[in-house]
Amino acid sequence: MTHKARYLIDKIGVAVLGVFATITLNFFLFRVLPGDAVSDMARVPGGSAELKQALMRQFGLDKPVWAQYGDYLAQLAHGNMGVSYSSLRPVTTDLLAALGNTVPMTLLGIGVSVLFGLATGILAARYHDTPIDALISNAATIVYAAPTQWIAILLVLCFAAYLPTSGLSDPFALSSDLGSILADRLKHIILPSLTLALATFGQYTLVTRSAVLSTLGEDYVAAAKAIGFPVRRILWSYAIPNALLPIVTLVALSAGTIMGGSVVVETVFSWPGIGRAMYDAIVQRDYPMLQGALLVVTIAVILINLLADLVNARLDPRIVE
């Protein structure tokens, strides 16, 4: 077996074990918390002990915990995540709808964050120990330290008169034209995506600056300068490609933080994504929905880390040697 194949098998094995451990922890952790959704549902007018027992049987909560766990694993194997306690719809249906709203917002925010972080980090390294470097580094540090919810509220205060600050679209819009619908969605996605971008770009700026400066201090860069290579060629041929390695790793390592930030962003802007779905599920003690959302988020984080490992192995073949 080659080193590359062994590396791939090891990474996939770790990912599979991580998913299974998360499924198990998610299931048992929420069962030991006090209270349950069935008790809340049975308190409605006309509720009774008989109604509670009927609901327990309907959702399979009258079985022993290990039996519930076995049923949960069997249903997951068939792609069934159960039924939401609050909406009474399949969890998979609700999660797919929420995921379809979260992915564009997150990709747009992280894409802007990475591109802006790379540009400012390279600029700071290019003008090292100058006022430009100090301005960029200090701004990146301040933004990186700022809480996501503070950035979101600040953007609402600054742009509420110009851009929508709530929801996915205008509920009073009458036009059915595709162009008008897309324009409305774009206006609504700007502030949530910008919040996520501002909350994360600082770390990419600082890491890029550090990586580029580290590369510029290497002996082969000094030799290139002695030969007479222009600074622009040295940056694009040596410094920037080497700076991509830590950036790829940082994106993967910060995937969990990004998803946590999306919960705050979607709650502040009432964005109907998976982060808002998790928040509502916690409030309503909707175990199936919460388990399904956390499972999707965990799998996404694990796959992002797996992809980052494969990309790093491609960029630097020495990793798999």
What is the average per-residue pLDDT within 278-295?
82
DSSP letters spanning 257-307 = HHHHHHHHHHHHTT--SHHHHHHHHHHHT-HHHHHHHHHHHHHHHHHHHHH
In 3D space, the residue among 318, 269, 272, 321 whose CA is nearest the CA of residue 293 turns out to be 272
Looking at residue 274, its pLDDT comes to 86
Do 208 and 243 form a contact (C-beta atoms < 8 A)? yes
Transcribe 149-202 into DSSP letters: HHHHHHHHHHHTTTS--SSSS-TT-----HHHHHHHHHHHHHHHHHHHHHHHHH
Buried b (16+ CB within 10 A) or exposed e, 71-102: ebeeebeeeebbbbbbeeebbbebbeebbebb
Taking 60 as the threshold, does the pLDDT of residue 40 lie above it? no
pLDDT at 135 over 90: yes
Give, for 27, the enclosing helix (H) or strand (E): helix 3-31
Task: Render pLDDT for 66-84 as a digit per residue (tens, 0 to 9).
Answer: 777 887 788 788 878 877 8
Pairwise pLDDT comparison (2 vs 91), residue with the higher score: 91
Q: What is the pLDDT of residues 210-235, one digit of tens each?
A: 888 887 777 777 777 777 777 777 77
More confident residue, 71 or 165: 165
- C-alpha to C-alpha distance for 109 and 12, rounded to whole angstroms: 28
Question: Which tokens sit at 136?
Answer: 């960029």
How far is it, in rounded angstroms, from Cα 43 to Cα 104? 39
Average of per-residue pLDDT values in the chain = 79
According to DSSP, residue 320 is labeled G
Q: What is the reported pLDDT for 260?
A: 64
Q: Does an H or E element contain 83, and which?
A: none
Q: Which domains does the chain show, CATH number per domain?
A: 3-33+81-320 (1.10.3720.10)
Confidence class for position 51, pLDDT limits 50, 70, 90: low
Tokens 């809340």 sit at which residue?
Answer: 40
- Interaxial angle between packed helices 240-253 and 287-315, expressed in degrees from 0 to 180 and rounded to the nearest 10: 160
Q: Region 34-51: what's the mean pLDDT?
A: 56
Which residues pair with residue 90 across a beta bridge? 83
CA 3 vs CA 8, 302, 303, 309, 321: distances in Å: 9, 22, 21, 14, 6
SS3 content of the chain, % helix, strand, coil (to 5): 80, 0, 20
Residue 155: band (very low, low, confident or very high) from pLDDT cuts 50, 70, 90: very high
pLDDT in tens, 2-33: 766 777 778 888 888 888 888 888 777 766 66
**In the prediction, which pLDDT does 36 show?**
56
Q: Residue 148 — very low, low, confident or very high, per pLDDT cuts 50/70/90? A: confident
